[in-house]
């Protein structure tokens, strides 16, 4: 945890005086308490976090079940039928990739060990400013601990929809997340997993401490499906969204540039059956405004196959049209 430097002036003295009068802990005491919490959580949580090694590099994982089931990111094990798993007790064993889900970037690895220390998952989202502890193997450094706070909830990485559907509805933190942390755990102050480390924005992009994690509720939902059936079900609209820019709107003679444009519609799919066609501009799903492709994917993530939603869209005439669209289970070929 980074050292906190306090600058004592009049304002700081007044704050300390207020803390003394109200019985609240002084800043130095709060810093000590925070450090102690990180130490306590780290001691309990380290045995449940592992390092995963493949021919292409390394990542991290979390013990999901005592019988040798490990949860990690799909991109950590992508293309590898087998991996090596290094445990905090020093043992290193072979693992088999049991099931993967590219949509949420989650995967399960099975190892031949039992009696493993299982991490406890907290399905409730943490609150803004809550303490977070990240444990993993950044750049191969096993059992590394970093700490920070919850910087934001329900975050989407702009522009990510063109390459991945996983970088939506994430927990943002200023705790350091680096290459190799992927698939590791983000713990709260109670030592429960509130997220799976997913991504970070590097400093060369102008970022300072911007890390992201998959919420625990999503991770558990997908992990249970992968464990039980070998695949996860996802709502599918049969529509590929793309960002609508003023330039594209002008080229297509659209009077409005709000919403996302459907650059492809699956023949016979839900969107086509609802009357949508390529070039239509979607502006809302039910009551939620859709301004980016990531917004559209978030709405799908929050729904299940079989749900019916109302899609608002417009065409070159600029008039809003509403249609009922019944979502289906995402076809296996469509990732």
* Annotation says 105 is catalytic: yes
Task: From the candidates 48, 60, 75, 174, give the one annotated as an active-site residue.
Answer: 75
Task: From the candidates 48, 60, 182, 197, give the one annotated as an active-site residue.
Answer: 182
* Annotation says 314 is catalytic: no
Measured between alpha carbons, how far is 306 from 327 in angstroms, rounded to an integer?
5
Q: Tokens in use for 307?
A: 């749900």
- Planar angle of CA 206, 59, 104, nearest 5 degrees: 75
Q: Yes or no: say if 297 and 311 are a contact pair by the CB < 8 Å rule.
A: no
Measured between alpha carbons, how far is 242 from 296 in angstroms, rounded to an integer?
10
Task: From the candidates 101, 105, 188, 280, give the one annotated as an active-site residue.
Answer: 105
So which residues are the catalytic ones?
75, 105, 182
């Amino acid at each position: 945890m980074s050292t906190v430097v306090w600058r004592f002036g009049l304002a700081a003295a007044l704050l300390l005086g207020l803390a003394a009068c109200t019985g609240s802990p002084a800043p130095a005491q709060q810093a000590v308490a925070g450090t102690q919490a990180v130490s306590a959580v780290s001691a309990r949580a380290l045995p449940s976090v592992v390092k995963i090694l493949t021919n292409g590099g390394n990542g991290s994982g979390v013990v999901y079940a005592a019988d040798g089931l490990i949860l990690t990111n799909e991109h950590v094990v992508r293309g590898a039928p087998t991996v090596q798993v290094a445990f905090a007790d020093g043992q290193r064993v072979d693992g088999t990739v049991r099931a993967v889900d590219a949509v949420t970037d989650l995967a399960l690895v099975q190892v031949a060990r039992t009696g493993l220390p299982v991490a406890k998952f907290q399905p409730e989202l943490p609150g803004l400013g809550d303490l977070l502890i990240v444990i993993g193997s950044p750049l191969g450094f096993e059992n590394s601990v970093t700490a920070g706070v919850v910087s934001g909830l329900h975050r989407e990485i702009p522009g990510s929809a063109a390459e991945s559907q996983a970088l939506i509805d994430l927990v943002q933190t200023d705790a350091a997340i680096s290459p190799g942390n992927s698939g590791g755990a983000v713990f709260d102050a109670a030592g429960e997993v509130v997220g799976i480390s997913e991504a970070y924005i590097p400093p060369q992009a102008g970022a300072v401490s911007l890390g992201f994690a998959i919420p625990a509720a999503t991770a558990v939902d997908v992990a249970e499906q992968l464990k039980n059936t070998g695949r996860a079900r996802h709502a599918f609209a049969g529509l590929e969204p793309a960002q609508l820019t003023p330039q594209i709107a002008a080229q297509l003679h659209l009077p409005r540039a709000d919403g996302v444009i459907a650059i492809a519609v699956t023949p016979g799919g839900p969107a086509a059956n609802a009357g949508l066609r390529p070039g239509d501009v979607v502006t809302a799903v039910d009551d939620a405004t859709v301004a980016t492709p990531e917004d559209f994917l978030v709405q799908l993530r929050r729904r299940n196959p079989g749900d019916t939603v109302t899609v608002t869209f417009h065409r070159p005439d600029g008039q809003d049209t509403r249609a009922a669209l019944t979502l289906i289970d995402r076809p296996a070929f469509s990732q």
